[in-house]
């Protein structure tokens, strides 16, 4: 049995999937004859979010970690278009069609969980298994609050500053790392560096973050408890929910939602919201076990 605790020699490459407004970029780990897995990062992150976890997973997995549109190396949405949950579900269909996958599994973190469960519920024949890290549904709000929220959203999205405000320039990559750690104190320096390496680009006088400022308005990703429950009831694939001990979500609420799923379990691991990036070894064994359960002859991690 291969020892995956040693430095990984798994092949790594890049992929670019054409979409009507540009391309969706992805970082590819493994061999194309492996078990296909689509990895979906969280809000304001990029495919580098999985740089610490994927090397600890089995070499029998073929993982494509995408940059969501407006993040990392992917094209932003065109002017006048915005970042809605429905668009993100369609993004996944563009990706799997571009990759030629007829069946695949999903590994999703935080914001990536919403489109993952929506896709798996809407097109259940395509999804084999899911691992959901720190989340189980899109952010839920009460239906009565949608009109007010939509008014605020439209006002912000159409403001001139949203279109014309110049990007902040940082003098060095180290300054970019410091900025991420300032905004998200739970990230280790190593974790922040992984995100900066894929989420910035050099300009004449320094570096800027490549993420589209429109992605910061997350209200277009919200849904109601009733809609979320409907999606969960429609999911057919086995699902593993991994929650961090120090989570941004209520464990009790997630436990109740897990019971709606037909075949699912929830585990809690030590760590915080970015546990898969800050401390990947506590997550990797469970991810391996779940994704490889029905894959014949698969090697398991010895973590």
Between CA 133 and CA 37 the distance in angstroms is 14
Here the tokens at position 78 are 């065109």
In a 3-state reduction of DSSP, which class is residue 108?
Answer: strand
Would you say 132 and 41 are in contact if contact means Cβ atoms under 8 Å apart?
no
Max Cα distance, the chain (Å): 58
- The backbone region for 72, taken as left when phi is positive above 0, alpha when psi lies in -120 to 50, beta otherwise, is left
Would you say 299 and 58 are in contact if contact means Cβ atoms under 8 Å apart?
yes
Closest by CA to 59, choosing from 241, 267, 239, 302, is 302
Between CA 62 and CA 208 the distance in angstroms is 31
Between CA 128 and CA 156 the distance in angstroms is 39
- Going from the C-alpha of 134 to that of each of 156, 163, 188, the distances in angstroms are 28, 32, 18
Would you say 111 and 218 are in contact if contact means Cβ atoms under 8 Å apart?
yes
- Going from the C-alpha of 78 to that of each of 68, 70, 82, 171, the distances in angstroms are 14, 10, 8, 28
Catalytic residue IDs: 110
């Amino acid at each position: 049995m291969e020892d995956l605790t040693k430095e990984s020699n798994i092949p790594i490459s890049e992929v670019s999937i054409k979409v009507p407004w540009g391309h969706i970029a992805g970082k590819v780990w493994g061999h194309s004859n492996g078990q296909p897995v689509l990895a979906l990062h969280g809000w304001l992150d990029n495919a580098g979010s999985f740089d610490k976890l994927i090397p600890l997973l089995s070499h029998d997995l073929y993982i494509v970690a995408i940059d969501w549109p407006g993040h990392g190396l992917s094209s932003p949405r065109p002017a006048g278009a915005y970042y809605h949950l429905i668009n993100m579900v369609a993004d996944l269909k563009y990706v799997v069609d571009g990759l030629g996958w007829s069946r695949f599994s999903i590994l999703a973190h935080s914001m990536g969980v919403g489109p993952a469960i929506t896709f798996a519920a809407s097109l259940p024949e395509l999804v084999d298994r899911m691992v959901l890290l720190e989340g189980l549904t899109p952010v839920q709000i009460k239906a009565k609050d949608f009109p007010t929220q939509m008014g605020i959203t439209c006002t912000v999205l159409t403001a001139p500053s949203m279109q014309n405000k110049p990007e902040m320039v940082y003098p060095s990559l180290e300054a970019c790392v410091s900025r991420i750690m300032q905004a998200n104190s739970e990230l280790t320096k190593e974790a922040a560096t992984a995100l900066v390496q894929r989420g910035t680009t050099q300009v004449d006088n320094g570096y800027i973050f490549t993420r589209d400022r429109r992605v910061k308005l997350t209200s277009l990703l919200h849904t109601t408890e009733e809609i979320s429950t409907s999606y969960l009831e429609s999911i057919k694939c086995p699902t593993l929910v991994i929650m961090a001990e120090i989570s941004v979500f209520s464990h009790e609420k997630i436990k109740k939602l897990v019971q709606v799923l037909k075949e699912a379990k929830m585990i809690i691991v030590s760590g915080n919201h970015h546990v898969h990036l800050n401390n990947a070894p506590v997550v990797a064994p469970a991810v391996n076990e779940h994704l490889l359960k029905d894959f014949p002859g698969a090697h398991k991690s010895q973590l």
